Amino acid sequence: MLPTAGLRIDQAPPLHLPFRFFGTAPLFALLTGGMLIFQGGDLLLAPLLPVTIATAHLTVLGWLLMVICGAMIQMIPVLAGIPVPWPRLVPWVHGLLTLGTLSLFAGLTADPVSPLPLGLSVVALTLGISGFLVPIAIALVKAPAKHPTVNGMRLAMICLTGTLLLGVVFLGEHAHGFLDVDRRLLLGIHLFWGLIGTMGTLIIGVSFQMLPMFYMTPAFPNRTANRILAGIALSMLLVPLALLAGGVDHPWLPLAAALPGIAALMLYGHQVRQMLHNRKRKWVDTTLRLWLFGFACGTTSLLLMALWPFTDSEPWRFLTGILYLFGWVAPVILGMLQKIIPFLVWFHRFSTLAGLVEIPMMDDLSPEKPLRAQMWLMIASVASLILATLTGWDPVARLAGVGLIGVGAISGYALWFALRITPPKAPEMPDFASFFKDSFPPPPQGQDGTNP
Ligand code: HEM
């Protein structure tokens, strides 16, 4: 059982809202895997080829952001203590994010690049992501909870807004011709806000609550957490300014601007290491292994990223992205889902029946062996992607694709596994009033037969 003190579980939205995102995301993992099998090492030759951008966004928007949207809609009411307004928008957000990602993919993979699906993608992604951001922003502004997790979510949502705006400009460029601005510069800002500002900050912010809850570690100290977020926020502001001021040809400037963020991430790593070391129960389950693998890949990727300004090597940049997205964000998200899905299903479907009828335990809603296999498949996919990037070996890239298809298929299976048990009917409660009907005299009646 999870310790849930301080959480407003009664505020949780209905199960179908987050689960439509969790159910769609694995399909995009399958598509990413399919593209790797189909295209092989060609996908890893050079960044910013339309087909590479398209495949990157199957992962980024269709798989990872899809899960993040579902998880935030679920978590904000519980962690921040306030419902997200306009829940009726949620199915629209889900539909538009799906449509926008698919049309982005269709537009960029057409030969030549096709403006019509790209235009559709701009409309769908702008409406879909804004339909997600606006209600979430309202909830986060009004949130009574002052926990650093809420501050992390606020920062992540600001960065997602900037990432979206730049993404829309890029799609316009791909459809209608490139603006006379340094493409690497704007792309650098898009990557920085999207990868670190949105995905990284969100994972870090949520981990302030999740690590103590899932792994029985001591609490994450609020002051340290807020300092970490302040350091990241400062760099999110300074790095784009440094890039705009000095261009990409003055590498020291953005690196200096990144220092507060780098210090914050080192503090985060130090704190998490201490907390995991001091956790009450020392067992290491699949989800913790995924976290540890994620931490190792995330750290390596940030080290590589810090060296970007000093190298033109394309494999170097690919490695950074692969380690970051597939090595850090994806495994951590898989690990969180392995905990969250059985908990939500148990809470929504069975918790009210506890003590009345026989109900499954939370562990009965989680397929342990397939999930362990999923972890190994994820690790093997990352290893294959790294090898394929360094060597250019086609079969290894295709092997990574097979691994990702396995990961996506097991995610879908885990969802079905959790939902497969129909909740038993609650037994008829006895009519307690009838037990006492002859025990008391009837109340006095008025002349017309009504109570006076
Ligand atoms: C958190 C969200 C996002 C992340 C993490 C992200 C990540 C990335 C990455 C890694 C690349 C480089 C791809 C490559 O090397 O080939 C990229 C480029 C690009 N992104 Fe995103 N992205 C995000 C959101 C978006 C959105 C919402 C859109 C569209 C509305 C978008 C449109 C683009 C485009 C068109 C490019 C190519 C840029 C160019 O050609 O210069 N991205 N993004």
pLDDT of residue 159: 98
Rounded distance between C-alpha atoms, residue 314 and residue 184, angstroms: 13
Asked whether the predicted pLDDT for residue 416 surpasses 90, the reply is yes
Name the percent of the chain lying above pLDDT 90. 64
Average pLDDT, the chain: 89
* Residue scoring higher pLDDT (444 or 326): 326
Q: Which of 34-38, 280-284, 329-333 has the lowest mean pLDDT?
A: 280-284
Residue carrying structure tokens 């019509």: 116
Highest-confidence range of 109-113, 309-313, 394-398, 425-429, by mean pLDDT? 394-398
Ligand 1 centroid – CA 53 distance (Å): 7
Q: Is the C-beta atom of 119 inside 6 A of ligand 1?
A: no
pTM for the predicted model, two decimal places: 0.89
Rounded distance between C-alpha atoms, residue 262 and residue 251, angstroms: 16
Tokens of 447: 């002349």
Read out DSSP for 258-298?
A: THHHHHHHHHHHHHHHHHHHT-SS----HHHHHHHHHHHHH
Q: Which of 34-43, 91-100, 279-288, 351-360 has the lowest mean pLDDT?
A: 351-360
Read out DSSP for 288-330?
A: HHHHHHHHHHHHHHHHHHHTGGG---HHHHHHHHHIIIIIIIH
pLDDT mean over 131-141: 94
* Residue scoring higher pLDDT (89 or 176): 89
Rounded distance between C-alpha atoms, residue 251 and residue 307, angstroms: 9
Rounded distance between C-alpha atoms, residue 239 and residue 247, angstroms: 11
Ligand 1 centroid – CA 171 distance (Å): 9
Rounded distance between C-alpha atoms, residue 52 and residue 49, angstroms: 5
Neighbours of 445 (CB within 10 A): 10
pLDDT of residue 451: 45
Q: Is the C-beta atom of 194 inside 6 A of ligand 1?
A: yes
* Residue scoring higher pLDDT (271 or 430): 271
Reported as a pLDDT band with limits 50, 70 and 90, residue 439 is: low
- The atom number, within ligand 1, closest to the CA of 108 reads 35
Kindly list the distances between the CA atom of residue 351 and the CA atoms of 339, 343, 370, in Å, as whole numbers in the listed order: 16, 10, 25
* Residue scoring higher pLDDT (44 or 6): 44
Kindly list the distances between the CA atom of residue 250 and the CA atoms of 242, 244, 257, in Å, as whole numbers in the listed order: 9, 11, 12
Asked whether the predicted pLDDT for residue 101 surpasses 80, the reply is yes
Reported as a pLDDT band with limits 50, 70 and 90, residue 322 is: very high
Tokens of 416: 């079905």
Query: Are the C-beta atoms of 151 and 226 separated by less than 8 Å?
Result: yes
* Residue scoring higher pLDDT (251 or 235): 235
Kindly list the distances between the CA atom of residue 269 and the CA atoms of 51, 264, 295, in Å, as whole numbers in the listed order: 35, 9, 8
Asked whether the predicted pLDDT for residue 291 surpasses 50, the reply is yes
Query: Are the C-beta atoms of 97 and 125 separated by less than 8 Å?
Result: yes
Query: Are the C-beta atoms of 252 and 306 separated by less than 8 Å?
Result: no
Asked whether the predicted pLDDT for residue 452 surpasses 50, the reply is no
Q: Is the C-beta atom of 170 inside 6 A of ligand 1?
A: yes
Asked whether the predicted pLDDT for residue 99 surpasses 80, the reply is yes
Ligand 1 centroid – CA 167 distance (Å): 6
Q: Left, alpha or beta for 86 (phi > 0: left; psi -120 to 50: alpha)?
A: left
Asked whether the predicted pLDDT for residue 139 surpasses 50, the reply is yes
pLDDT of residue 41: 85
pLDDT of residue 324: 95
Query: Are the C-beta atoms of 422 and 349 separated by less than 8 Å?
Result: no
Neighbours of 396 (CB within 10 A): 20
Asked whether the predicted pLDDT for residue 214 surpasses 80, the reply is yes
Residue nearest to atom 27 of ligand 1 (CA): 164
pLDDT of residue 104: 97
pLDDT of residue 1: 44
Q: Which of 90-104, 148-162, 182-196, 311-325 has the lowest mean pLDDT?
A: 311-325
pLDDT of residue 75: 86
Reported as a pLDDT band with limits 50, 70 and 90, residue 450 is: very low
Query: Are the C-beta atoms of 109 and 166 separated by less than 8 Å?
Result: no
pLDDT mean over 411-435: 80
Asked whether the predicted pLDDT for residue 227 surpasses 80, the reply is yes
pLDDT mean over 228-247: 92
- The atom number, within ligand 1, closest to the CA of 318 reads 15
pLDDT of residue 445: 56
Reported as a pLDDT band with limits 50, 70 and 90, residue 431 is: low
pLDDT of residue 318: 86
- The atom number, within ligand 1, closest to the CA of 199 reads 1
Q: Which of 166-170, 253-257, 260-264, 272-276 has the lowest mean pLDDT?
A: 253-257
Report residue 188 CA to chain centroid gap: 21
pLDDT of residue 10: 62
Q: Is the C-beta atom of 53 inside 6 A of ligand 1?
A: yes
pLDDT mean over 361-390: 94
> Which of 64, 101, 190, 322, when mutated, tests ligand 1's pocket best, judged by the most ligand atoms within 8 Å of its CB?
190
